Amino acid sequence: MGNMKTQLSFASLSEIKTELLAVLAVDTQTSKDRDAKPQPALLTTDPAVVAAAAQVLASGEFKAGANETLLLHAPAGLAARRLLLVGLGKQAKATVHLVRNAAGTSVRFTKPRGIKELVFSLPESLTGSPLHAMARAAVEGAFVGDFDPDTYRSDRKDQSVQSFTLAAPANADKKALEAAFAEGVIVGESQNFTRTLVNEPGNKLTPTILGERAAAMAKEVGLKSEVFSTEKLHELKMGAFWSVSQGSAEPPALIVLRYEPEGVKDGPVLGLVGKGITFDTGGISIKPSDSMEKMKYDMAGGAAMLGAMRAIALLKPRVRVIGIVCAAENMPDGKAYKPGDVVTAMSGKSIDIINTDAEGRLVLADGLTYARQLGVTHLIDAATLTGACVVALGMINAGAFANDEATYAKFEGALATSGEKFWRLPLGDEYADLIKSDIGDIKNTGGRWGGACTAAEFLKVFAEDTPWIHLDIAGLAWVEDSRPYIAKGPSGVGVRSILEWVRSF
Ligand code: BES
Ligand code: MN
Ligand code: ZN
């Protein structure tokens, strides 16, 4: 993974010499009649490709369903050695997001077969999807598809596709396509940067090491970075963040990355705050051992912020951005914080600890306050925050919350580009009532029901009057069942949407 060379070609499809040429097809059948046969049609008019695929399309063996594949060897009239048909599903529903997936599917078809080279042909046109958007999405999808999480297997064969070529129609706007293509490479690589971090086990990615990885990335792409630890937490009076960290032999890391484009001296400053729990045992309110190993991905929100910062540094939007990751390990220990403890957050609010497994909101509380102290005008946070969010939305949509309509509208706009699925969930005084404490200002859990919403209400207290978005990615940060276009494992969810949100300013 990671060494895929990418290029853009405007050559005619039939003349491209390659191991494998992938072309897209849609099902043009519009009848609602259940017995109506699918009518697959290619999204290219290249006469040689059309001729090569004609027989199999007529046979009914290939229905052009989304991510359906069919391979032909030695296609007559083509310079390519193999022709791969990839379905996009019903024509009326085909979007740029299905093109992204189809590119991933093509890569994941190619990889295990030991074929090193792939040419992916963009549709000549797709209603509602400009060519440059499809180009960017296809490159993203190719990188997403190329990632496999088996880095620690000693029998790992590196079967990465070495060369990915995007073939675009010759009459396309070459400048626009080249720019979109370059963007796709940055976004795809940044999403995989996040996935690599999320995939790391807790023993190999402590808060300190996460800080080192963030600083190395920052140096590479030209971001300012600072990584603080215990002393700084005490100095800033981050009592909430510190309480989570205090039960671990591993010191916490407060990671701060800054993107300051030249000549941008005023306007908004965006604060990206991520939960970076490198392992969540639950602490004294310890989790059951079943699936506890999954809690290595409890830093996925933080990793998403780092991936987004990487992409921001390379794409250079005209807006200042501060990325903050609050990294700690949540462990049970003689020094660990306990249920019933009262801790004082950086903002001065006292927090009544009910459950030490509700640790994410504690580290984020101080991260949000710190971001505000650094002068951010808008906040977004991402966290694998609650199991309740997974119960509510399944592993289909991640949860989104906001205290400001205009800021959320920008996020919704970002989703149209990213293709990521987020569903807005409610905040409200009735939820806030559930986290009132008899002992302190606020308690860290709100009971069994509406857990995603009470967790968000908790964070809202620390966002104060700053426009803020909260993303609960607990259900989507880890892909439980592989799909044709993405491996089982870390997904990198959030990177693309957060990036587009930033670019909307
Ligand atoms: N990291 C977990 C949430 C989580 C659950 C992430 C499943 C990914 C998959 C979080 O720290 C947690 O333990 N939340 C508790 C909160 C509860 C104690 C109020 C939960 O959701 O059970
Ligand atoms: Mn927890
Ligand atoms: Zn957690």
436 C-alpha to center of ligand 2: Å? 20
Q: Residue 486 forms beta bridges with which residues?
A: 483
Q: What's the average pLDDT block by block, 10 residues per block, for the chain (505 residues)?
A: 86 97 97 90 97 96 98 98 98 97 98 96 94 98 96 84 96 97 98 98 98 98 98 98 98 99 96 99 98 98 99 98 99 98 98 98 99 98 98 98 98 98 98 98 97 98 99 98 97 99 98
Contact assessment for residue 400 and residue 389, using Cβ atoms and an 8 Å cutoff: no
Within a domain: 121: yes
Residues 255 and 313 in one domain: yes
For residue 330, give its domain range: 194-503
Q: Are residues 199 and 137 in the same domain?
A: no
Q: Quick one: 366 exposed, middle or buried, by C-beta within 10 A (0-12, 13-18, 19+)?
A: buried
Q: Which amino acid is at 500?
A: E
The answer to whether residue 156 is catalytic is: no
Ligand 1, closest atom to CA 389?
21
Residue 372 catalytic?
Answer: no
Contact 300, 279 (CB under 8 A): no
Residue to probe by mutation, ligand 1, list 357, 473, 479, 491, most atoms within 8 Å of CB: 357
- Tell me, yes or no, whether 407 lies in a domain: yes
Ligand 1: residue of 284, 385, 390, 476 to mutate (most ligand atoms within 8 A of CB) is: 385
User: Could you tell me the distance, in angstroms and rounded to a whole number, from the CA of residue 387 to the centre of ligand 2?
Assistant: 9
Considering only CA atoms, which residue is closest to atom 5 of ligand 1? Answer: 387
Q: What is the CATH number of the domain that holds 157?
A: 3.40.220.10
297 residue type, one letter: Y
| CATH number of the domain where residue 358 is located | 3.40.630.10
449 contact partners, CB below 8 Å, separation of at least 6? none
Q: Which residues contact 315 (CB under 8 A, 6 or more apart)?
A: 183, 186, 499, 503
Question: What secondary structure, in 3-state letters, does 369-390 show?
Answer: HHHHHCCCCEEEEEECCCHHHH
Residue 187 lies in a domain: no
Predicted confidence at residue 191, as pLDDT, reads 98
Dmax over CA atoms of the chain, in Å, equals: 79
- Pick the atom of ligand 1 nearest to 330's CA: 11
Q: Is residue 308 a contact partner of residue 495, using CB atoms and an 8 Å limit? A: yes
402 lies in the same domain as 296? yes
Predicted pLDDT at 67? 98
* Percentage helix, strand, coil for the chain under 3-state DSSP, each rounded to 5: 40, 20, 40
β-sheet bridge partners, residue 379 = 271, 468
Residues 482 and 391 in one domain: yes
Protein residues whose CB sits closer than 6 Å to any atom of ligand 1: 280, 298, 355, 357-360, 384-388, 390, 445, 451, 474
* Whether residue 431 sits in one domain with residue 386: yes
| β 342-344/320-330 pair status | unpaired
Q: Reduced to 3 states, what is the DSSP secondary structure of residue 354?
A: coil
- DSSP state, residue 401: E
Tokens of 428: 């409200």
Residue 125 CB neighbour total at 10 angstroms: 13
pTM, two decimal places: 0.98
Residue 437 in any domain: the answer is yes
318 and 453 fall within a common domain: yes
Pocket test for ligand 1, best of 277, 385, 386 (most atoms within 8 A of CB): 386
Residues 374 and 481 in one domain: yes
Is residue 134 included in any domain, yes or no?
yes
* Residue 53 domain-assigned (yes or no): yes
Cα 18 from chain centre:
31
Q: How many CB atoms sit inside 10 A of residue 479's CB?
A: 18
- Looking at the structure, do residues 132 and 205 belong to the same domain, yes or no? no
No. of H helices and E strands in the chain?
A: 14, 20
Is residue 365 within 8 Å of 449, Cβ to Cβ? no
Ramachandran quadrant class, 289 (left: phi over 0; alpha: psi -120 to 50; beta: rest): alpha
For residues 22 and 119, the answer to whether their CB atoms sit within 8 Å is yes
Which of 111, 258, 320, 361 is the catalytic position? Answer: 361
Sign, Cα dihedral of 105, 107, 113, 117:
positive
pLDDT at 120: 98
Q: How far apart are CA 156 and CA 503, in angstroms?
A: 38
* Residue that the structure tokens 């306007």 belong to: 267
Residue type present at position 328: A
CB neighbour burial string for 261-280, b if at least 16 within 10 angstroms, e if fewer: eeeeeeeebbbbbbbbbbbb
**Other CB atoms within 10 Å distance of the CB of residue 130:** 14
* Domain contains 179: no
Mutual orientation of helices 300-315 and 495-503 as an angle, nearest 10°?
A: 40
Q: Can you tell me which atom of ligand 1 is nearest the CA of 384?
A: 6
Number of domains in the chain: 2
Encode 121-185 in three state secondary structure.
ECCCCECCECHHHHHHHHHHHHHHHHCCCCCCCCCCCCCCCCEEEEECCCCCCHHHHHHHHHHHH
Beta bridge partners of 402: 469
Q: Measured between alpha carbons, how far is 66 from 484 in angstroms, rounded to an integer?
A: 10
**Per-residue tokens: 501:** 């949100």
Same domain, 109 and 234: no
Q: How far apart are CA 241 and CA 233, in angstroms?
A: 8
Separation of CA 358 and ligand 2 centre (Å): 5
